[in-house]
Amino acid sequence: MDAGKQYTLPVNGTLVNGQKDDFLRRRTAAEILASALSSGCGDYAVAFISLVERCGLQTLLVDAAEISVQSLQSRFAGHAVVAVRDESNRQWILADPTNKRILAAPWAAGEKMFGGVYWIGFKGPVAEYPVHDASSLREFYDRTLKTIPLDILNRQIIRLRFTIDASLMSTDGRFLNPNVSKLIENSERLLTEYGLQPQNEVIVRVVKGGDDARSDLRYSNENGWTLQLGLRSICSPGLLGYVERHIAGRMPTTK
């Protein structure tokens, strides 16, 4: 589904009109498959489970909260995946239907995390899943985040050190994008607010981007992490989250 677009779709047999988030975790597998529309990872997971179980395989829905500063702030970030039992060797395989890939094979059903950044809050049959709409999904993520030990948060969350390149400075010493200071301030403020002392620190060099709001993060062995910042970017918490997720995806997985 496209964000901001209106849809009229069946929800448990009743037609509902709304936008993408209005359908979060509400539709049955049959309704999702019939519509060929997904509101996100939860729909992909439920539809995948339905198809796999037709083949007689055992499955578990696995939903988890994202371990990140942005997630701690929004209380509304996570990912749903599916565990499938391989009867030939009695082992579990963890699959990510949204991104069409295998996360772990074999996978231990007792794991607390997956993907290096997701803390599991539910693992079980779809019929026992406690989430049924956007509101209960937010409550689920909030509860799950509260169960993460502080030492895990400090090990998984990254302290971002932003250095401002000369290309973003005017001749009189001002930032060409006056919002750039928000990246530095928000990152440190949130770590302090949640009492975090991350074990890992990554330097991100911020350089001048285009005359628009677009920002692009890149990595090279020569320069490390470089963020090309659009001169009209408002440097929102979403940008901080974008940087955090991309860097976390390249960090070694820890347990």
Tens of pLDDT, residue by residue over 77-103, are 999 999 999 888 899 999 999 999 999
pLDDT at 171 over 90: yes
- Transcribe the chain into DSSP letters: --TT--EEEEETTEEEEE-GGGGTTTS-HHHHHHHT--SSHHHHHHHHHHHHHTTT--EEEEEEEE-SHHHHHHS--EEEEEEEEETTTTEEEEEETTTTEEEEEEE-TT-SEETTTEEEEEEE-GGG----SHHHHHHHHHHHHHTS-HHHHHHHSEEEEEEE-GGGB-TTS-BSSTTTHHHHHHHHHHHHHTT---SEEEEEEEEE--SSS-EEEEEETTTEEEEEE-TT----HHHHHHHHHHHHTTSPP--
Mean pLDDT of 186-206: 92
Q: What is the mean pLDDT of the chain?
A: 93
pLDDT at 236: 86
Q: CA 219 to CA 239: how far, in whole Å?
A: 16
pLDDT at 168: 96
pLDDT at 255: 47
Report phi then psi at 30, rounded to 5: -65, -40
* Residue 252 binned pLDDT confidence (cut-offs 50, 70, 90): low
* Residue 251 binned pLDDT confidence (cut-offs 50, 70, 90): low
* Residue 116 binned pLDDT confidence (cut-offs 50, 70, 90): confident
Residues 134, 139, 140, 142, CA torsion sign:
positive
pLDDT at 7 over 90: yes
pLDDT at 153 over 50: yes
pTM: 0.86
* Residue 241 binned pLDDT confidence (cut-offs 50, 70, 90): confident
pLDDT at 188 over 90: no
Percent of the chain with pLDDT over 70: 98
